[in-house]
């Protein structure tokens, strides 16, 4: 699943770059799969991971940094996390990498404040 999602993401980015390809279908099913994978992140990080506040925003951060952090939450002890260590263990390494890619490509507009 993880590999598939990552492929989806690459495809979605490619399609975004080449606008004409999107005309094939009204619904971007690959983007939709990514939205569903990332869906629960928004509940603490805001829509598209752009909420600024006690919980850090995700959008627009480096993919490498996000992936390293997520993998550390999953595999390492004493990361300083209070809850992400419990949540990250529910995803494969590939899924975490896909999520890191996904949020790194979203614009980091800090307009979402409480």
Partner 1 sequence: MSQPWNRLSRRQLLKGLGGASALPLLGAMPSLAIGGQHAGHVVVVGGGFGGATAAKYLKRANPAIKVTLVEPAEVFYTCPFSNLFLGGLRDMRSIAHNYDELRQRYGVDVIHALAEDIDADAHKVRLSTGDTLRYDRLVLSPGVDMRWDALDGYDEAAAEKAPHAWKAGHQTTLLKQQLEAMEDGGTFIIVAPDNPYRCPPGPYERAGMVAHYFKEHKPNSKVLILDAKDNFSKQGLFTAGWQRLYGDRIEWVGLSNDGRVTRVDADNLEVETEFGTRHRADVLNVIPPQKAGWIADRAGVTDSSGWVPVKPDTFESQQVSDIYVVGDATVAAPMPKSGFCANAQAKVVAAAIASSLEQQPAPTAYWANTCYSLVGPNYGISVAGVYRVTDGAIAEVPGAGGVSPADAPDTVRALEAEYAVGWYNAICQDTWGTQV
Nearer to partner 1, 57 or 67 (CB): 57
Query: What is the Cα–Cα distance from 69 to 111, expressed in whole angstroms?
Result: 24
Contact characters 22-51, partner 1, x per CB under 8 A: xxxxxx-x-xxx-xxx-xx-xxxxxxx-xx
51 DSSP β-pair partners: 112
Q: How far is the CB of 114 from partner 1 (least distance, A)?
A: 4
The SS3 of residue 9 is helix
Contact characters 68-107, partner 1, x per CB under 8 A: --------------xx--xxxxxx--------------xx
Q: Quickly list DSSP for 45-63.
A: H-GGG-B-SSSPP-TTS-H
Which residue ranges make up the site for partner 1 (CB under 8 A)? 1, 19-20, 22-27, 29, 31-33, 35-37, 39-40, 42-48, 50-51, 53-55, 82-83, 86-91, 106-107, 109, 112, 114
């Amino acid at each position: 699943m993880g590999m598939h999602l990552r492929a989806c993401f690459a495809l979605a980015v490619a399609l975004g770059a080449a606008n004409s390809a999107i005309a094939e279908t009204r619904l971007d099913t690959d983007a939709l799969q990514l939205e569903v994978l990332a869906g629960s992140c928004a509940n603490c990080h805001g829509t598209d991971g752009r909420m600024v506040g006690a919980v850090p925003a995700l959008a627009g951060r480096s993919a490498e940094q996000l992936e390293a952090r997520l993998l550390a939450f999953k595999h390492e002890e004493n990361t300083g996390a209070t809850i992400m260590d419990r949540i990250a263990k529910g995803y494969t390494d590939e899924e975490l990498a896909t999520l890191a890619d996904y949020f790194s490509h979203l614009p980091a507009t800090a307009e979402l404040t409480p």
